[in-house]
């Protein structure tokens, strides 16, 4: 099966995802640095937390709207708001204006619109795909995302500081293209049914939603695993928050002489863009090889050991990156962190898929998505904490949080294996 055999909506969504992620990678990883320079690190950290809270709330609302009114309608409204926000961000950064607060307000609006539209876009892909096509669909989408991030961070690392207005103008143009593609080339994939009941549509829907999420939160094993994921993944999210700000502040500029090219001065923001690009390129190049390696060690206890090893490498790599300013060490430990990421990510996702209830899979994954945003929130708070702690203290804190998450995940995954490896104890426990 090839890309041409996928549903037209899938092909359009992969194209729009590539376009969106490319331009967002040029801008948003560097916004924490921008706000820190304009408003101070303490204020910037709090604003980033507020942005994440807003996006979490918007995503839950967006999921409800997509089920209530249909995918395409929600997507069109969300893309329209994204276009308007991009235009106003460009206006706020036009020559002679440079309004940081209007920029932040539009970043908030952009984040809310993204949060509202994301559930509809994800659901639309599932609506038009089949079990036979989803592996190919998600594989191509994964590659498109990583390639777009590679391209975007490479361009943004060199252009954001001096060409911010031009980048926002490009984002507005891309947003307009995506809006037109969605409006005229994408067909509705879901026709919602009216909600009826003695409480009325709105109250009955809200009650059912709350009841579903209550059952998810009572699943102690899943919640412990999700908490471990939150703590572990916050390690990497510090890269675009505290680590980026620290490199811009502490990295000593140096001159780089390249063959056949003029000498270039390397600043902290350039180094930040380079290690982000390294991470993404390594993922694209090494993912298939590491997945093939993991298939050779597919027994339960072997998976636990590889999951632990990958998580430790991941945490240690980002902890060192949070401290050092040496270019070679930054590149080396980004390699260590990326290899760890490639090892623990598929194993962690496999364990999660086997853990969630089939009857409430969407609700479980919504809560899991909220944990991802919680990890981003911890990382955003790192900007404020980093204003008080030295880089060595922040590196130690990042390592401690990440290792706590690693140990919690290991305990949740290994506990059933220990119980079933001791059948007499298990039989007594369950009264058999």
- Report the candidate in 45, 19, 34 with the shortest Cα–Cα distance to residue 387: 45
Residues 168 and 242 in one domain: no
Is there a domain that residue 107 lies in? Answer: yes
Report the pLDDT value the prediction gives residue 393, as an integer from 0 to 100. 94
Rounded Cα distance, 355 and 363, in Å: 13
Residues 248 and 387 in one domain: yes
DSSP-derived secondary structure letter, 327: H
The DSSP H or E segment spanning 256 is strand 254-256
- The number of distinct structural domains making up the chain is 2
Residues of the chain predicted below pLDDT 70: 1-3, 67, 126, 131-139, 142, 192-213, 215-216, 258-261, 288, 353, 356-366, 369, 417-432
CB proximity list for 53: less than 8 A, separation 6 or greater = 377
Is there a domain that residue 203 lies in? Answer: no
Is there a domain that residue 205 lies in? Answer: no
Render pLDDT for 302-345 as a digit per residue (tens, 0 to 9). 888 999 999 999 999 999 999 999 999 999 999 999 999 888 88
- The two structure tokens encoding residue 169: 């103008």
Residues 71 and 171 in one domain: yes
Residue range(s) defining the domain that contains residue 134: 1-186
Residues 246 and 137 in one domain: no
Rounded Cα distance, 413 and 348, in Å: 9
Is there a domain that residue 197 lies in? Answer: no
Residues 168 and 244 in one domain: no
Is there a domain that residue 367 lies in? Answer: yes
Give yes or no for a contact between 188 and 14, defined as CB atoms under 8 angstroms apart: no
Give yes or no for a contact between 313 and 333, defined as CB atoms under 8 angstroms apart: no
Report the pLDDT value the prediction gives residue 345, as an integer from 0 to 100. 80
Instruction: Give the global pTM.
Output: 0.67
Is there a domain that residue 219 lies in? Answer: yes
Is there a domain that residue 402 lies in? Answer: yes
Report the pLDDT value the prediction gives residue 109, as an integer from 0 to 100. 94
DSSP-derived secondary structure letter, 175: H
Q: Which of 123, 152, 186 is the last residue of a domain?
A: 186
Q: Which of 186, 220, 236 is the last residue of a domain?
A: 186
- Residue 113 belongs to domain with CATH number: 1.20.1250.20
Residues 155 and 246 in one domain: no
Is there a domain that residue 333 lies in? Answer: yes
Residues 354 and 427 in one domain: yes
Residues 380 and 427 in one domain: yes
């Amino acid at each position: 099966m090839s890309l041409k055999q996928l549903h037209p909506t899938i092909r359009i969504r992969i194209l729009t995802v590539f376009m969106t992620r490319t331009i967002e990678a040029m801008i948003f990883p560097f916004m924490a640095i921008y706000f820190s320079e304009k408003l101070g690190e303490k204020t910037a950290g709090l604003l980033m937390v507020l942005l994440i809270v807003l996006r979490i709330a918007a995503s839950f609302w967006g999921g409800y709207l997509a089920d209530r009114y249909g995918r395409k309608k929600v997507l069109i409204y969300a893309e329209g708001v994204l276009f308007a926000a991009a235009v106003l961000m460009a206006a706020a950064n036009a020559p002679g204006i440079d309004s940081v607060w209007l920029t932040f307000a539009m970043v908030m609006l952009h984040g809310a619109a993204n949060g509202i539209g994301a559930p509809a876009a994800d659901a639309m892909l599932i609506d038009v795909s089949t079990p036979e096509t989803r592996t190919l669909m998600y594989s191509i989408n994964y590659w498109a995302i990583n390639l777009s991030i590679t391209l975007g961070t490479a361009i943004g690392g060199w252009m954001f500081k001096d060409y911010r207005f031009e980048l926002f103008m490009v984002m507005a143009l891309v947003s307009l293209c995506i809006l037109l593609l969605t409006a005229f080339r994408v067909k509705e994939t879901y026709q919602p049914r009216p909600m009826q009941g003695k409480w009325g549509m709105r109250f009955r829907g809200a009650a059912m939603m709350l009841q579903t999420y209550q059952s998810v939160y009572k699943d102690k094993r899943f919640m412990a695993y999700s908490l471990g994921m939150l703590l572990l993944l916050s390690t990497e999210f510090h890269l675009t928050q505290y680590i980026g700000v620290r490199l811009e502040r502490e990295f000593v500029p140096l001159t780089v002489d390249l063959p056949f090219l003029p000498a270039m001065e390397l600043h902290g923001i350039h180094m930040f863009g380079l290690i982000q690009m390294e991470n993404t390129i390594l993922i694209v190049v090494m993912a298939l090889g590491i997945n093939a390696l993991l298939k050779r060690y597919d027994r339960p206890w072997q998976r636990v050991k590889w999951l632990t090893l990958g998580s430790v490498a991941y945490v240690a790599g980002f902890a060192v990156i949070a401290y050092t300013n040496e270019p070679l060490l930054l590149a080396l430990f980004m390699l260590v962190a990326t290899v760890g990421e490639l090892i623990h990510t598929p194993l962690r996702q496999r364990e999660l898929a086997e853990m969630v209830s089939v009857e409430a899979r969407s609700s479980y994954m919504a809560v899991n998505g909220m944990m991802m945003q919680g990890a981003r929130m911890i990382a955003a708070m790192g900007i404020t904490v980093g204003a008080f702690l030295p880089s060595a203290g922040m590196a130690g804190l990042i390592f401690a949080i990440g290792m706590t998450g690693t140990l919690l995940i290991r305990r949740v995954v290994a506990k059933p294996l220990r119980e079933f490896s001791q059948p007499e104890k298990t039989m007594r426990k369950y009264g058999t």
